[in-house]
Amino acid sequence: MARWLGIVVSGREARVVDADVRKNEPIEILADDSWPLPNTDRSEGYNFLYQRVVNYAREHKIERVIVKESAVSGRGGARKSNLLSAELRGVVIAACASVCHTDVLAKAAISKTFGDRKVDEYLEDEDFWKDEISGKALRAGSREAAMILLATRGKDGAA
């Protein structure tokens, strides 16, 4: 069993998919969760989420984490919400890296290296998801976190 986490950070939460990832089999979804940033002082909230990520990764013996990279806005200039999401993404990446091998993967890179379609086409394709996952149900909003696992398996590390 190769236990991996796929994490997508946006706004004030981390969307987390915990899965058994094997090279030539559907990934088995073990958990699909959202970890919101608490409504406290931002530094206290970051510390809380950092500890939550570290504790989860250790307790569940996570071997690898793939975090979706920040995307460049096509509208020019980063808004405060983009910057705050990037701060939270940095907290999550640091927490993961303190426990196990952690990669950051851009959505654009997935489109170039996985299959022959754009990522959004895969995210909307019900038949694709029926073939590629097993185990617990995956929320539609968590497909992007699972997609970064699918795009990474087989490249290296999956059993």
- Which CATH number does the domain housing residue 99 bear? 3.30.420.10
pLDDT, the chain, mean:
90
What's the pLDDT score for residue 73?
A: 60
pLDDT digits (tens, 9 = 90+) for 7-50: 999 989 999 999 999 988 999 999 999 999 999 999 999 999 99
User: How crowded is residue 150: how many other Cβ atoms within 10 Å of its Cβ?
Assistant: 23
Q: Which amino acid is at 111?
A: S
Domain that holds residue 40: 3-152
144 in a structural domain: yes
157 in a structural domain: no
64 in a structural domain: yes
**Domains in the chain: how many in total?**
1
115 in a structural domain: yes
158 in a structural domain: no
> Using an 8 Å Cβ cutoff, are 101 and 64 in contact?
yes
What the block records as the tokens of 25 is 């089999």
pLDDT digits (tens, 9 = 90+) for 78-88: 677 777 888 99
> Using an 8 Å Cβ cutoff, are 159 and 1 in contact?
yes
Phi-psi region of 135 (alpha: psi -120 to 50; beta: other; left: phi over 0): left
Q: Which amino acid is at 148?
A: I
Dmax over CA atoms of the chain, in Å, equals 45
C-alpha dihedral (24, 26, 30, 34), degrees to nearest 10: 110
Lowest mean pLDDT among 30-39, 47-56, 134-143: 134-143
How far, in Å, are 19, 63, 64, 130, 144 from residue 137 at the CA level? 12, 22, 21, 10, 14
Q: In whole angstroms, what is the distance from residue 100 CA to residue 86 CA? A: 21
Q: In whole angstroms, what is the distance from residue 157 CA to residue 153 CA? A: 7
